[in-house]
Amino acid sequence: MTDRALVLAGFAVLAVLGVLAELTARHSQRCTTLGETLRLLLRSRVLRILVILVWAWLGWHFLAR
């Protein structure tokens, strides 16, 4: 298996785990959904700026080539 295939498989596993976590949260009252979590994070201005910085860092490190 090449490095590229390994990375793509890792991202696929993370995507599947994210979908499973969202489905579990929608059927359970113990967890928050992704939308609820983002709504809580984006209430505060400091956290909003932090979310933008984290998103920019992820984009720079994983998508820029």
Domain count, the chain: 2
* pLDDT value at residue 65: 63
In a domain, 36, yes or no: no
Q: In terms of Cα–Cα distance, which of 1, 56, 58 is closest to 10?
A: 1
Does residue 1 sit in the same domain as residue 26? Answer: yes
Instruction: State pTM to two decimals.
Output: 0.62
In a domain, 65, yes or no: yes
- 33-60 tens-digit pLDDT: 988 988 988 899 998 999 899 989 988 8
Residue 26 makes CB contacts below 8 A (sequence gap 6+) with: 33
In a domain, 7, yes or no: yes
Does residue 3 sit in the same domain as residue 23? Answer: yes
- 2-43 tens-digit pLDDT: 888 998 999 999 999 999 999 999 998 888 898 898 898 889
Tokens 């579990």 — which residue?
A: 24
In a domain, 25, yes or no: yes
Does residue 26 sit in the same domain as residue 6? Answer: yes
- Which range of residues forms the domain containing residue 7? 1-31
